[in-house]
A = this chain, B = another copy of it.
Amino acid sequence: MTNQTLILIQCRDAVGLVALIANTVAGHRLNIVTMREYVDEAANRFYVRIVCAGKAKSSEQLAEDLTHALPEGAIVTVNPPQQKKLAVLVTKEHHCLGDIIIRHFFDTLGAEICCVVGNYDDLSTFTKRFNIPFHHVSHEGKSKEQFEAEIADTLELYQPDYVVLAKFMRVLSPEFVIRYPGRIINIHHSFLPAFIGANPYKQAHARGVKLIGATAHFVTNDLDEGPIIAQDIKPVNHSHTVKDMIRAGKEVEKSVLSKALALIIEDRVIITGNKTVVFE
């Protein structure tokens, strides 16, 4: 994106917004290459992602001009920081972390992993092998408040743009979540139908499901709720044991989380209400 200008805007919907924006952009002598726009009619809210050929002389001036032209309350971002910082929270499972770290190592993630925090230290050796700081913050013998305060303190050292729950198996409190509004990403398996309660894979196996799915989403209050970013499935059949289904679930969790992160890192995901707009 070295010779491009990326513009993200959201505001209250109104007639003529595209004209206002396009005029302002044209005034800066930038040519719009791609424009993806969405109006959430239920929320009366307007979203646009614009890629222009050419670098804006001054991103600040362009942002200021756009803000001035648009309805009050417009949120305008011109050329968001390209090297985003991700903090990754883990427990013991490695499949998602492994995939993210390999991409990081080979410079295809498009973001920096500033730290990994685990409530167990099982993944410490692996993480350090890539010169990424690993912090072991145990939850044992601590109140949830204290545990989360320690995690927050650790994250504070790195000022991450996003917090990625890469199979972090502790439920976070609303108090913690509110610190990173729209910036915590979670991944979990999903089934058709959903299985409530303990050991969903065992239930899925007993019911003979033919698909195992995974959902990547932003975390709001409930760990498994919040705006969905990406979903996918893998086929399974009766010959799969519970263990095989878990393995299939891990494969799909890994690929869905990677896809969701790529979309976020490229500034293609916008939250509106309890859903996302994904300008893929």
A10 to chain B, nearest CB (A): 13
Q: Is the CB of A237 within 8 A of B280?
A: yes
Pick the residue among B18, B193, B228 that contacts A35 (CB under 8 A).
Answer: B18
Q: Which of B31, B194, B232 meets A193, CB within 8 Å?
A: B194
B-side contacts of A129, CB under 8 Å: 129-130
A39 contacts B29, CB within 8 Å? no
Inter-subunit contact A34/B232 (CB<8 Å):
no
Chain B CB within 8 A of A26 CB: yes
**Number of A residues whose C-beta is below 8 Å from B?**
73
Task: State the majority secondary structure of interface residues on A.
Answer: mixed
A211 engages B193 (CB within 8 Å): no
Number of copies of this kind of chain in the complex: 4
Q: A228-B208, A274-B206 are in contact. Are A98 and B94 (CB under 8 A)?
A: no
Within 8 A of B (CB), among A163-204: 190-194
| A276 close to B213 (CB less than 8 A) | no
Q: Which residue of B lies closest to A260 (CB)?
A: B210
Residue A207, interface by CB 8 Å:
yes
A142 to B163 alpha-carbon distance, docked (Å): 50
Check if A91 is an interface residue, CB within 8 A of chain B. Answer: no
Contact B238 A278, beta carbon cutoff 8 Å:
yes
A233 (CB) vs chain B CBs: closest residue: B233
> In this assembly, does A88 line the interface, its C-beta being within 8 Å of a C-beta of chain B?
no
**In this assembly, does A77 line the interface, its C-beta being within 8 Å of a C-beta of chain B?**
no
Assess whether A99 is interfacial by the CB under 8 Å rule.
Answer: yes
Whether a CB of chain B sits under 8 angstroms from the CB of A239 is yes
A75 in contact (CB, < 8 A): no
**Residue A17 lies at the interface, judged by CB distance under 8 Å to chain B:** yes
The contact of A32 among B17, B98, B102, by CB within 8 Å, is B17
26 contacts between A and B (CB under 8 A): A14-B31, A16-B31, A18-B22, A19-B19, A19-B22, A19-B25, A19-B26, A21-B22, A23-B23, A33-B41, A38-B238, A106-B126, A190-B192, A193-B215, A207-B228, A208-B274, A209-B228, A211-B231, A211-B232, A211-B233, A213-B233, A237-B280, A238-B276, A238-B278, A239-B280, A251-B255
